[in-house]
């Protein structure tokens, strides 16, 4: 289909900008992710040992979500239409656009479930409710079921796709004058009426948030009760409180980077506002979620922060020793009087 007009576009609107920026984010994020993985595996202290593999599991899904945006799919989204086409590696491997969308959704969902799993692990380790023995019998099965059940709604997206021949006219109606490459691209319209998709995503988010709040409240209340009863020392209480608040900050800060693009997408759909440059920036912001999440994890947990800081401080320390070794004799020689 030929474009009937001349669109007013810039470099930020182009797929070249989106691809280049996404690749740069991936290049920068890879060493940061490796450092984060090393910190979790090698530098997790004994008091955090019970949460070690849960942190590693969350870190894995953060990387998968990061790479799903930054290199595997690189979606060129056409808000306010819920559709677009991919620019990433999977496109060249022959993976269908629909399966790429489902892959992103499952990676995001598993990342969300992994957050719930971390708070549940602290709940299981520290709480002393009389009914905890029953919970410990089913917790592993519950977590496995929770992982798979929350993936089912996203798999349903495969069966909610409208007829693409009719949906192609929907793009022309909803979007303004577009560049030729968008008309020629193999665009996929995921939904014409996005209400069902919005309900699914909202429900999954509410369920995950309610579980985190439940485990957090139970954990806080029970630890305070243990402190009052004298079954937990103040030192242990302070340590666990610090770790708990660090976890909360670790989850909340990256969430903001995801919330802003999601809010823009929702406003764009409701207001029928099209701005490809802003949409591309939002996609890049989503791909930066992994960098921010890993950096926050390293900075917020003291053992990880100190181990990374030692690497950067070492060369400075060695240099200062070498300098002092050479300058000290010079100072002594300068004090020796010259004899004729």
C-alpha–C-alpha distance, residues 226 and 237, integer Å: 9
User: What pLDDT, in 10s, does the model give residues 242-297?
Assistant: 888 888 888 777 678 788 888 998 899 888 888 999 999 999 998 888 899 899 99
* Per-residue confidence (pLDDT) for residue 332, from 0 to 100: 43
User: What pLDDT, in 10s, does the model give residues 300-316?
Assistant: 888 899 988 888 775 54
**Nearest one of 151, 126, 149 to 48, comparing CA atoms:** 126
Alpha-carbon dihedral sign for residues 331, 336, 337, 340: negative
* Per-residue confidence (pLDDT) for residue 4, from 0 to 100: 56
* Per-residue confidence (pLDDT) for residue 198, from 0 to 100: 83
- Mean pLDDT of all residues in 151-164: 83
User: What pLDDT, in 10s, does the model give residues 82-133?
Assistant: 889 999 999 999 999 999 998 998 999 999 999 999 999 989 988 989 899 9
Give the chain's mean pLDDT. 84
- Mean pLDDT of all residues in 195-205: 84
217-242 exposure pattern, b = at least 16 Cβ within 10 A, e = fewer: ebbeebbeebbeeeebeeeeeeebee
C-alpha–C-alpha distance, residues 272 and 274, integer Å: 7
Is residue 334's pLDDT more than 70? no
How big is the chain by its Cα radius of gyration, in Å? 26
pLDDT band at 2 (very low <50, low <70, confident <90, very high): very low
The CATH architecture annotation of domain 11-312 reads: Up-down Bundle (1.20)
């Amino acid at each position: 289909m030929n474009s009937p007009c001349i669109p007013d576009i810039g470099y930020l609107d182009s797929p070249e900008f989106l691809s280049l920026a996404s690749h740069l984010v991936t290049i920068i994020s890879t060493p940061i992710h490796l450092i984060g993985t090393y910190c979790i595996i090698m530098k997790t202290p004994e008091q955090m040992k019970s949460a070690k593999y849960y942190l590693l599991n969350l870190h894995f899904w953060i990387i998968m979500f990061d790479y799903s945006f930054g290199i595997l799919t690189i979606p060129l989204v056409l808000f306010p239409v819920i559709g677009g086409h991919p620019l990433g590696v999977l496109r060249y491997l022959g993976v269908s656009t629909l399966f790429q969308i489902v892959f992103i959704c499952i990676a995001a969902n598993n990342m969300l479930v992994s957050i719930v799993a971390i708070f549940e692990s602290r709940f299981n380790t520290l709480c002393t409710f009389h009914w905890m023995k029953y919970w410990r019998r089913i917790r592993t099965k519950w977590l496995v079921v929770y992982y798979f059940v929350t993936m089912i709604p996203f798999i349903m997206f495969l069966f909610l796709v409208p007829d693409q021949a009719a949906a192609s006219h929907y793009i022309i109606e909803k979007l303004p004058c577009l560049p030729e490459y968008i008309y020629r691209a193999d665009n996929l319209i995921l939904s014409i009426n996005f209400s069902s998709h919005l309900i699914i995503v909202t429900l999954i988010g509410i369920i995950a948030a309610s579980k985190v709040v439940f485990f957090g409240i139970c954990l806080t209340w029970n630890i305070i009760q243990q402190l009052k009863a004298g079954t937990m020392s103040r030192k242990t209480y302070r340590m666990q409180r610090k770790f708990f608040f660090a976890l909360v900050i670790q989850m909340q800060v990256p969430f903001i980077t995801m919330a802003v693009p999601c809010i823009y997408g929702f406003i764009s759909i409701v207001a029928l506002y099209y701005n490809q440059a802003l949409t591309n920036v939002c996609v890049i912001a989503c791909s930066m979620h992994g960098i921010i999440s890993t950096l926050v994890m390293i900075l917020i947990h003291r053992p990880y922060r100190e181990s990374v800081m030692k690497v950067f401080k070492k060369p400075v320390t060695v240099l200062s020793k070498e300098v002092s070794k050479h300058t000290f004799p010079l100072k002594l020689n300068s004090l020796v009087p010259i004899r004729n």
